[in-house]
Structure 1
Amino acid sequence: MAKIFPFQAVRPTRDKVCLVTCRSYEEYVNAELAAQLDFNPLSFLHILKPAYTNQETVSFEKRYKQVHQKYQDFKNEIILIKDKKPAIYIHKIVTKTHSFTGIIVGTSVKDYCNNIIKKHEDILEFRVQLLKDYMKFSEFNTEPVLMTYPDNKTIENWIFNCCHKLADFEFSTTKKEIHYLWKIEDTLEINWLQNIFEKTESLYIADGHHRTEALKLLSEENSENTSQDHILSYLISENNVKIYEFNRLIKDLNGFSKSDFIMELAKDFKIENKFQQPFQPLKKHQFGMYLDNEFYSLELKKDADLLETALETLDTQILYKKVLLPLLGIEDLRNDERIEYLSGKQSILEVKNKIDQGEFEVGFLLYPSNIREIKALADANQIMPPKSTFIEPKFRSGLVIYEF
């Protein structure tokens, strides 16, 4: 059964939180990153990229140690302070279209090893090693692993009541999001919540597979440091996550003419030409395609190969097995330079524009997966194809920090 733990978080002071917290480092374009680093001395980006001011090239280990030193500087300057008592935290994010509320806690590395915390994505070993070394030398983690738990009315009511109290933090971002944070440090209340989660059979990783595996390695490497036995986690009800698709853009037709390619597709799909009318799939096993200035609907024929396993029924796997691999010759979805991905958060007209500009020849639009598919894969110990889901909410760095 799932175990959760309170911890003493390091957090920005209340008056500085809106200046300190930032999006994940990779989300910034260069101009935006430079502006933040040049004009906001309190941004957590200065910790994440401490060599920015002199632009020096350093080894990974040296950079990680610089991250640790800059982090200590922020603490010494009272920009960041450590809570006096172990606590759990409720975090609410309100965007222009959605509202997400979850619980920030420590979860157990042992639960991950014992498959109580379940995964559905493959990992890249080199990324895991880099993350493990990063956390080893920096001695902190500020990016929680997003995990879902089954809908629970008792937890929902408790969160609802907590959110009616005055928040410890309330601030807005330049992306027009509003963030709230409540600290729960009452021992009886924490014990009550721990007991509820101990009755929860499984937690499912929605986002953060590499970080979870890195924390497992870190725990194995230094078994004497029990603080490394916990995973900084953001637990959210499975009905409160938002799952987007990743659409596929391909640079060529692998030697096929347009007519021959469509003829091959017709063996497995019912094809309808939508001409200039933008088309987005409305259900599973239906795909959109944009080719040569025209949109198409592709619907998997009912007499196509029988789909039995959770993996075989995934639209991303169907597209790979029926189109990308046999027709377009794309075997490695992660590394082939002929394929790129656009999240479903972006307009399908962005797919059209990239193809019209000649950068790509064909684009495929997918219907988003759902939490049931993710859980079925995880329960069956199967792995989703790369770039199958883009999941929200996304957490801000520097808001809640777990120290090792």
Structure 2
Amino acid sequence: MASIIPLRGVRYNPRIVPDLAQVVTPPYDVIDESAQNRYYERSPYNVIRLEYGKTGPADDAGNNRYTRAGETFSNWLDSQVLVQDRQQCLYLYEQQFTLRGRTYGRRGFFCGVRVEPYETGVILPHEETLPKHKKDRLELMRLCRANFSPIFGLYPEKEMVSSLIIAKVMQNDPDISFTDELGQAHRMWIVRDHTVINPIISIMEQKHIFIADGHHRYETALAYSQEIGGPGLHNYALMVLVNLYDPGLLVLPTHRLVQNPKGIDPEALVSELGDVFEVTPATVGPHGFQVFLDDLEVRGKGSFGLYAGDGRLYWLSLKPGGDLDRLMPADKSPAWRRLDVTVLHSLILEKYLDIGSSERTDEGLIRYTREESGALEKVDQGEFAFAFFMNPTGVDELVAVAEGGERMPQKSTYFYPKLSTGLVINKL
């Protein structure tokens, strides 16, 4: 199945960049203009200049964020700000983080993964993509001939043999260790020993890979591979692979801020939703909005939060015994029809608010957010009409949908934390 290779990774030269916390970033798609400016100011060598450079009013075909990224990448290689490892390596990677008072460690490894069309069943997607984002990433790849940001992949290995191999190496001191701006610890072990590398390659030959995060980057890498043609490193994409059964694998919800193109009265919307959902008014008590979200989690699958402004907060729970299959698209599998995110998009947004699949590509109509209390403020300030709050999609649900060859709406999953960009670069 999956074909992986060790890489001669390109990494920051510790003599010039001793503190990696100053130069790494999260993936480009979670970086807004404010964060972009912050990373630019943090270090003249911050990877933001490669991965997500600034645009300017004088940009043209010969001078733009992509050409500047290509020139900067070349200059940093020439001046040895970035250096390429002499040997092929696997880069074992651990992120340690705290969430709700509990500490986790997520383990995986950087490698090259041969890109395959989805139809082969080797690489399995689970989310829809947008053409404009792929166009942006493809232009960057053409001008730089590199992968700066790893795709996040999951592989199913219940036997945990690969995890035991990784854990044994991680008993040694890491080659790289730093703490980022969020207080998350990053540790990396550079493995050149083929008695470690080869067993992991053999395990992966029996596995397929689920894309957890980075669908646009994967489809871009595939398009680039097909564009270049022939053998070569352009047929491999930079990935971090994590065992599906890793205890540090967490999925968090992504909430939705939506407009009201239909112009429906909020009270009328709540009334209409009562045909399918049990609607329960709620309030934000003295202990804050987190209590509401905790209660939403307890209510579990088939439950949502709705905020309609002016303090109007509701729990929505699918009525027991309701004929959900009749209400959802008939051409989809039961696994797809029972996802919270597809119930929200196909039933609530499409049926009641006239926001269908084509309208969902309009970023003015829907915004995806991890900010909970901030979402309430944006509704109260009139930026959006409604906020819908979600429980996270389960990893088992992702697997069922992906193995069935179906896709969820955009931003159905949020694997926390994000991988760092800038630790390992794959030069094509």
**Which whole-Å CA distance do the structure 1 matches of 2:34 and 2:124 have between them?**
38
State the SS of the aligned residue for 1:323: helix
Name the structure 2 match of 1:286: 303
Q: Is the 8 A contact 1:219 1:225 kept in 2?
A: no
Cα drift, residue 213 of structure 1 = 1.1
* Equivalent of residue 189 in structure 1, options 193, 196, 200: 196
Distance 2:323 2:176 in 1: 53
Q: Counterpart in 2 of 1:213?
A: 219
1:39 positional shift:
5.4
Deviation at 1:10, TM superposition (A): 0.8
- Of the three residues 90, 94, 97, the one matched with 1:95 is 97
Report the Cα distance in structure 2 between the residues aligned to 1:254 and 1:111, rounded to whole angstroms: 39
Q: How far, CA to CA, are the matches of 1:30 and 1:2 in structure 2?
A: 37
Alignment CA distance shift 1:363-1:62 (3 Å): closer
- Which residue, 257, 260, 276 being the options, matches 1:268? 276
Cα distance between partner residues in 1 of 2:46 and 2:229: 33
- Which residue in 2 is equivalent to 1:360? 384
In the TM superposition, what is the alpha-carbon distance from 1:266 to its structure 2 partner? Answer: 1.0
Q: 2-side partners of 1:127 and 1:177: how far apart?
A: 28
Moved more, 98-107 or 109-118: 109-118
Cα distance change on mapping 1:55 and 1:164 into 2, 3 Å: farther
Is the contact made by 1:152 and 1:237 (CA closer than 8 Å) also made in structure 2?
Answer: no
Match for residue 20 of structure 1 among 15, 18, 23: 23
Per-residue CA deviations over 1:63-118 (Å, capped at 9, x if unaligned) read 43332221121122221111111111101112233322111111111375512111
Structure 1 residue 175 and structure 2 residue 182: aligned?
yes
Match of 2:237 among 231, 243, 251: 231
> Relative to structure 1, is the Cα distance of residues 26 and 219 closer, same or farther in structure 2, using a 3 angstrom cutoff?
closer
Aligned to 2:338: 313
2:70 corresponds to which residue? Answer: 68
String of CA shifts for 1:16-73, please: whole Å, max 9, x gaps: 2513323334544445533443452222223346677x87423377543332221121
Stretch moving more, 18-27 or 67-76: 18-27
Which of 244, 248, 254 is the aligned partner of 2:262? Answer: 254
Q: Secondary structure at the match of 2:154?
A: strand
Partner-residue secondary structure (3-state), 2:204 = helix
Following the alignment from structure 1 to structure 2, what is the Cα–Cα distance between the partners of residues 58 and 402? 27
Corresponding residue SS for 2:415: strand
1:122 corresponding residue in structure 2: 128
SS at match of 2:256: strand
Matched, 1:2 2:2: yes
Normalising to structure 2: TM-score of the pair? 0.86
3-state secondary structure, aligned to 1:146: strand
Q: Distance in 2 between matches of 1:164 and 1:12?
A: 24
- Note the C-alpha offset of 1:155: 1.5
Distance 1:35 1:276 in 2: 34
Kindly provide the amino acid, as one letter, of the partner of residue 327 in structure 1: Y
Q: How many Å separate the matches in 1 of 2:45 and 2:380?
A: 42
Q: Is the 8 A contact 2:150 2:238 kept in 1?
A: yes
3-state secondary structure, aligned to 1:333: helix
Change (3 A) 1:389 1:61: farther
69 and 387 in structure 1: CA distance in 2 versus 1, 3 angstrom threshold: same
Greater Cα shift, 173-182 or 370-379: 173-182
Which consecutive residues of structure 2, in runs of 5 or more, have no partner in the other structure? 326-332
Q: Aligned letter for 1:177?
A: Q
Cα deviation for residue 259 of structure 1 reads 3.5
Tell me the secondary structure at the aligned position of residue 411 of structure 2.
coil
1:231 and 1:249 mapped to 2: Cα distance? 33
Q: Which amino acid aligns with 1:157?
A: L
CA gap of 1:21–1:262, structure 2 versus 1, over 3 A, is closer
Alignment match, 1:300: 318
Q: Residue 329 of structure 2 aligns with which residue?
A: none
How has the CA–CA distance of structure 1 residues 86 and 112 changed in structure 2, closer, same or farther, with 3 Å as cutoff?
farther
Whether contact under 8 Å (1:94, 1:177) holds in the other structure is yes
Task: Tell whether the 8 Å contact from 2:255 to 2:369 is kept in structure 1 after alignment.
Answer: yes
In structure 2, the CA distance between the partners of 1:76 and 1:238, relative to structure 1 (3 Å rule), is same
**Are the equivalent residues in 1 in contact too, given 2:127–2:411 (CA < 8 A)?**
no
SS at match of 1:122: coil
State the alpha-carbon separation in 2 of the partners of residues 336 and 329 from structure 1. Answer: 15
Q: CA deviation at 1:126?
A: 3.2
Q: 1:334 aligns with which of 336, 358, 361?
A: 361
Which amino acid counterpart does residue 364 of structure 1 have in structure 2?
A: F
